[in-house]
Amino acid sequence: QDPGSPTSRSTCLERLSCIFGRRMSRHGDISSSPDTVGVCVYQYKMPRLHTREEVMDNARKICQCIKGTKQGLPGMDLIVFPEYSTQGIMYDKAEMMETATTVPGPETDLFAKACIENKVWGVFSLTGERHEDHPKKHPYNTLVLMNDKGEIVQKYRKILPWCPIEGWYPGDCTHVSVGPKGMKISLIICDDGNYPEIWRDCAMKGAELVVRCQGYMYPARDQQVLVARCMAWMNNVYVAVSNASGNDGVYTYFGHSSIVGNDGRTLGECGTETDGIQYAQLSVSGIRDARKTDQSQNHLFKLLHRGYTGVYNSGDGDKGIATCPFSFYKTWVENPLLAQAQVEEITRPTIGVECCPVAGIPKPSETLDPLVNELSLS
């Protein structure tokens, strides 16, 4: 057949599409495919709630959002809701402790039913999840990843609460779970994402999609939009950010929920609107192919094969250098109290400051008795 004929060119294009098309993440359609995970980030309005009854009513509203969104996006495999979307921020400690729940619990029972009925996976926020020593200790700030059978496949507790304001008890580890169509997923929450260590930890454990649920407010809009793109690029991961919108009487939430490709380019981003959504199809084979074949920007590979070009051409093997060159991290692992003291030398030795004091945090000149400095933002 004449290679220049229209038929031949058409056949070549079809073959190229078959080979490369399945490796492409994309934006703008309502579908998904066997190779792509349809991901939706839902920009829910930050609720202001006070009682268990109000929380359950709001959870039912979220379930209705799942139903409607799935109807409009038939390819949707995963829907993500913001931090605080279920219970809101309880600025009163008594309300916070009263509305703290369990996992599983009545809220996740509702979400499970919605996931089953709509054949979709979901990421849901629980603020808070009761501490094992409840009510003596503060709750956790928790996310759950739920599959389309209504099963909780990942429970993540926020490692880095937004101090000095947030009073959550910190979690202690990240997780990676196999999600829809085999994509490997990690969950992180809001202020977690300001620390590059957590992104790298998730990526090095195998995460292909890092979901960051936020209740992020002004004035930090520009910085947080930048963080999502930078961390996707630096860790060769997809990023899905679901942020709150609206005003809860205390803060105004800037939205800008987004889905970012593993090359750091934004596939879709909301504005500041309430109930906005973004949707994209993330290729499973595409990110795996990139991690296997990319070279100059394959940050995960290069970090543990440092300088392999020079090492190989010096006759010292083909693996580069694997040893960690960063002394701070060695100290942190081997002697965390020493690392803490080193940080205090370049910052401060107390959790409070004399200027602009925050309720619940003692100033350096005050007592450290928590009963004297009780948090009360009501």
Query: Which residue numbers are catalytic?
Result: 83, 158, 190
Upstream peptide bond of 164 is cis (omega within 30 degrees of 0): yes
Q: Running DSSP on this structure, what letter comes out for residue 130?
A: P
Q: Give the Cα separation of 273 and 131 in Å (integer).
A: 34
Cβ–Cβ under 8 Å, residues 175 and 181 = no
Q: Give the Cα separation of 106 and 102 in Å (integer).
A: 8
Q: Give the Cα separation of 376 and 378 in Å (integer).
A: 6
Q: Give the Cα separation of 45 and 85 in Å (integer).
A: 7
Q: Running DSSP on this structure, what letter comes out for residue 97?
A: H
For 305, the token pair is 């094969």
Q: Running DSSP on this structure, what letter comes out for residue 237?
A: -
Q: Give the Cα separation of 355 and 45 in Å (integer).
A: 33
Q: Calculate ∠ Cα 27-32-33, nearest 5°.
A: 125
Distance of CA 282 to the CA centre of its chain: 16
For 88, the token pair is 């809101």
Q: Give the Cα separation of 278 and 299 in Å (integer).
A: 27
Burial 329-368 (b: 16+ CB within 10 A, else e): eebbeeeeeebeeeeeeeeeeeebeeeeebebbbeeeeee
Closest CA to 263 of 291, 225, 303: 291
Q: Give the Cα separation of 323 and 309 in Å (integer).
A: 16
Q: Give the Cα separation of 311 and 318 in Å (integer).
A: 7
Q: Give the Cα separation of 127 and 245 in Å (integer).
A: 17
Upstream peptide bond of 219 is cis (omega within 30 degrees of 0): yes
